[in-house]
Amino acid sequence: MKTTHTYTHYIEWLSAEQMHEASKEWLSELRFIQDEHLFFEDLITTFTSPIISSGKFSDTKEIIDAIYKSEKENNTLIKAVKTHENKLQIMVDGKNQLKEEKAYLREHKSLIITISEFLKNYKSLKSQLFNIIKAIKKEEKFKHLIDKR
């Protein structure tokens, strides 16, 4: 007896309103990350000298490169979400355009996955950067305490 496996994909039916709200939330979060990237650039500029003197420049350079890559990816995602948001009209125009509506839903599902993966990687990157800055601040504080003696 031969058994056949069928794979089912559970897809939650999202209304146009829910997809619109998700897109607005994504844009808000991505724009906030855009501002954080500017903060990171200032932070890196401020701590360039201590980073170089700490001897951890190669590790830090990798993180700095990752931040710039993240910034580019963030800008690309903002454009993609704006384009996706503009296409929402397909879902609410009242016309039966099954192919276009299915394509829009596939695109929305793809954006859900892409953005959640980006956010996961971004949070990791952010944590690594703050750990480097924290280590530098501790080292500076320790040197300051030694110099006082």
Cβ contacts of 44-51, under 8 Å, gap ≥ 24: 47/133, 47/136, 50/136, 50/139, 50/140, 51/132, 51/136
Domain spans of the chain? 16-148
* Token pair belonging to 139: 């080292």
The structure's pTM equals 0.78
pLDDT in the model for residue 132: 84
| DSSP one-letter code for 97 | -
Nearest to 129 by CA among 43, 31, 35: 43
Contacts of residue 118, defined as CB under 8 A and 6 or more positions apart, other chains included, come to 70, 73, 74, 77
Nearest to 70 by CA among 15, 28, 131, 125: 125
pLDDT in the model for residue 8: 43
pLDDT in the model for residue 72: 96
- Pairwise CA distance, residues 53 & 56, whole Å: 8
pLDDT in the model for residue 104: 84
Query: How does pLDDT run along the chain (149 residues), one tens digit per residue?
Result: 555 554 444 445 678 788 889 999 999 999 999 999 999 988 888 877 777 776 666 777 788 888 999 999 999 999 999 998 888 777 777 677 778 878 888 899 999 999 999 999 999 999 988 888 888 888 888 877 777 76
HSE-up of 12 (CA within 13 Å, CB side)?
8
**Alpha-carbon separation of residue 83 from 31, 77, 108, 149 (angstroms):** 15, 10, 11, 61
